[in-house]
Every structure is written in C-alpha cells, then in structure tokens.
Amino acid sequence: MPKISLDHVHLFASNLEVTIKFFKQCFDAKVIWDEQAAGVRNVRIRIDQSFIHLYDQPPKGARGGPIHHLGIETDDLVDLVRKMKSLGILFKNQISEEEKFKYVMVQGPDGLLIELFECLEPQRWEISRK
C-alpha cells in the first residue's frame, strides 16, 4: 500500500488578506505558495508541520458545512492566549482545564471555530514537539 498522510484542511475565506494576517499573527503561519488554481486565488500556509489551504471565496451554505472546528495545539496555551489578546482577539470564555489537557475556543475569520489546546500528555496523543 502507498504511504498516505493527511496534508491539509481547505478553508473558504471571504477576505483572504484578513484570514492570512490572522493566521500569521496568531500562529506564526508562513505562506508557502500563493497562486491561481481552478480559477481563483489559493494560498497554502504552514503552521509548524501542518498546512491549511485558503480559498479566496466566501464560505458557502451553513456555517462550517461538515467542519465543526479547527484544532491548534500549543505547548503554552496561556502564552498563546495572552499573545492573541494583545492582538485584539476576543475570547468569550476562560481556559478550561481538564486532567489531560487545557483548551479554549475562539472565533477566527468567517466565524471559523478554533480550539486552542495544550496536551499535558503529548506522547500519548503522538504529538511531536520538535
């Protein structure tokens, strides 16, 4: 069988520049490529070892379609939330602390629900922190 891996999540963006700026400022995303594809601008960004493709087109249909939320893992949730608040990002709730992880939900561009979380047992979840 060929080697298979999940490469990216593809998101619609009603304002591509705002969406790119959000991911760059909040999560140190890097633009990998920015091209026309299938008749519209597509941007591939990297966050550590993961990728998101952004499609220059407003979201279609009901909120999120089959996507409930985007999960972004960090090794320091308190610091990440502090950084995002300094950028003017609003949080409706405080960080929730569970036995094995901490998390908080935040709204991104176009109403994208984002879960920020810190796993307290990264090896068990097979999270590599290089």
Q: Strand 113-119 relative to strand 70-73: parallel, antiparallel, unpaired?
A: parallel
pLDDT of residue 64: 66
Instruction: CATH 3.10.180.10 in the chain: give the residue spans.
Output: 6-58, 68-130
Contact (Cβ atoms closer than 8 angstroms) between residue 56 and residue 10: no
Domain 6-58: which CATH number of 3.10.350.10, 3.20.20.140, 3.10.180.10, 3.20.20.60: 3.10.180.10
CA distances from 3 to 6, 9, 31, 128 (A): 11, 19, 26, 19
Q: What is the pLDDT of residues 48-107, one digit of tens each?
A: 989 999 999 988 877 667 687 899 999 999 999 999 999 999 999 999 999 888 999 999
| Terminal alpha carbon distance of the chain | 28
Partners of 35 in beta bridges? 42
Nearest Cα neighbor of 66 from 13, 115, 113 is: 113
- What pTM was estimated for this model as a whole? 0.83
Residue-level pLDDT at 6: 77
User: From 3.40.50.800, 3.10.450.50, 3.30.9.90, 3.10.180.10, which CATH number describes the 68-130 domain?
Assistant: 3.10.180.10
pLDDT of residue 74: 92
Name which residue leads in pLDDT, 1 or 96. Answer: 96
Q: What is the mean pLDDT of the chain?
A: 90
